[in-house]
Structure 1
Amino acid sequence: MALPVPLPRAPLPLEGGSAFWYEHELGWPTAPGPPVALLTGLRFDVLELPADAGAGVLRRIDPAGTGPVALVAGRMRLLVAAGAADELPGLLEWLEWGGIALDLTAVGADGRMTAPQPPENGRPWAEQGAAVWLRPPEPGREVEPTLPALTHFGHGPGGSAGHGDRGGDVPDLVRLVDTAATECHRARLLRGETARAKSQPLAFS
């Protein structure tokens, strides 16, 4: 008796995130893993900062003021418009943050970012230590209009702060960078104060 031929199996998600989901649901180019990586400089660049500073940014800027945001290996990664990585040094100088150690960097053309696991049922994964989306991308929606982009010194058409030149509703890169720099500086000072407090011996009367 001939054995039935098994039906083809659906492809399994790849380690570090589903390449199929990114390629077909979002249209984002990927590099094979493990872990799967997202290619930067094509659809978006990435603004990267320490997680504690990034948490401060998310408290100060609501989701309409950022694009998708991920947490990868203890670092916050905010998606910004392609080309923004090249603008970061000049923006920091213009905002008078030049020469200050901020631990604020950007990844642009020819870069890679570890692909977080796609959200499950619309919710980010919470696996300990995994790369996760904190503000995930939306399938079926073009990512570019949601990304912070360089505007006329933080002002869009009509002089309204926080809006960009592409249609008047693009989040403002200048505001995001200024907020990120402020939070990086604040987090660095707080970490220094905590370290000094731990190193001081207890005083006894």
Structure 2
Amino acid sequence: MTVVLPRPGGPAAPWCQARRWYERELGWPTSGEAPLELLTGLRFDALGLPLDAGVALLGRAVRTGPVALDAGARRLWFLVAAGSADELPELLDWLEWGAVALDLAVRGPGGRIAAPVPAGAGHCRPGALGPGEPGGPVAPARAVWVRPPRAGDRGGEAEPSLPVTGLGGEGAAPDLARLVGAAATEVHRARLLRARGARRGLPGERQPLAFSYASRMSAGTRPRSFTL
């Protein structure tokens, strides 16, 4: 899957109706000032992966909720159910990833992520996004939706799509354990591949791609007879 990054010299981002759309259509609180950000830990938490690992995860047969690309940080943010940030350390231990250094970022209570511009946002008016935001479009989009949330009545159609704890999730919600297991696998794989590329041409043994058995099982990459 190819993710196209916004070009620095591209068209300016339309921010005018962004805050209204998030707060009125989804019921998601924002920072209320420019640059606009979504507050985590209230309606959702966010799991962040490096761009290469995140793109690889999108290509796997793992269900996710909304996914945002932060072009500046070159990181994909996978939205998960509120409270997931607190459960992540124990979940990684259960998946046998606790002893492995992983470039997994997580945003929970008190955190924030860049707010992607929603489709159909209009042009800004003076003061529309806060005291620091001049009128009119001013800068390229820092973040875009790769898999956008669905607008509903105060988030009525958004939160049920967020991964939650429990095998199989609750109702139609994706399962958090499977997502985290697959995310850990791809982050670890991407780190090893980057290290292998940096060592290319140098003497030494190649490091094998070794992964947690529990994570491979939850991600669906073990033999079919052992897959949950």
Provide the TM-score with structure 1 as the length reference: 0.76
Partner residue, 1:147: 162
Q: Secondary structure at the match of 2:59?
A: helix
Report 1:177-188 matches (<5 A): 177-188=180-191
Partner residue, 1:80: 80
Q: Secondary structure at the match of 1:92?
A: helix
Q: Which has the larger radius of gyration?
A: 1
Query: Matched residues in 2 for 1:90 and 1:132: separation?
Result: 31
Which blocks of at least 5 consecutive residues in structure 2 are unaligned?
1-13, 122-138, 204-228
Query: Any conservation in 2 of the 1:46–1:85 contact (CA below 8 Å)?
Result: yes
Partner residue, 2:169: 164
Q: Does 1:39 align with 2:68?
A: no
Q: Give 1:120 shift.
A: 4.2
Q: Give 1:142 shift.
A: 2.5
Partner residue, 2:113: 113
Identity of aligned residues (%): 57
Q: Root-mean-square deviation (CA), in Å?
A: 2.3
Query: Any conservation in 2 of the 1:47–1:106 contact (CA below 8 Å)?
Result: yes
Per-residue CA distance 1:116-164 (angstroms, 9 max, x = gap): 111249xxxxx9773110000111252211000001xx2xxxxxxxx22
Query: Matched residues in 1 for 2:197 and 2:140: separation?
Result: 25
Query: Any conservation in 2 of the 1:69–1:79 contact (CA below 8 Å)?
Result: yes
Q: Secondary structure at the match of 1:134?
A: strand
Query: Matched residues in 2 for 1:56 and 1:107: separation?
Result: 21
Query: Matched residues in 1 for 2:175 and 2:114: separation?
Result: 25
Query: Any conservation in 2 of the 1:119–1:133 contact (CA below 8 Å)?
Result: no
Provide the TM-score with structure 2 as the length reference: 0.68
Query: Matched residues in 1 for 2:60 and 2:142: separation?
Result: 25
Change (3 A) 1:108 1:195: same
Which blocks of at least 5 consecutive residues in structure 1 are unaligned?
1-12, 122-126, 155-162
Q: Runs (4+) of structure 1 moved beyond 3 Å?
A: none
Quick one: higher RCO (CA 8 Å, sep 6+), 1 or 2? Answer: 2
Q: Which of residues 145, 148, 159 in structure 2 aligns to 1:136?
A: 148
Q: Give 1:33 shift.
A: 2.6
Q: Secondary structure at the match of 1:47?
A: strand
Query: Matched residues in 1 for 2:61 and 2:68: separation?
Result: 15
Q: Which of residues 153, 156, 179 in structure 2 aligns to 1:176?
A: 179
Q: Secondary structure at the match of 1:98?
A: coil
- The amino acid of 1:136's aligned partner reads P
Q: Does 1:27 align with 2:27?
A: yes
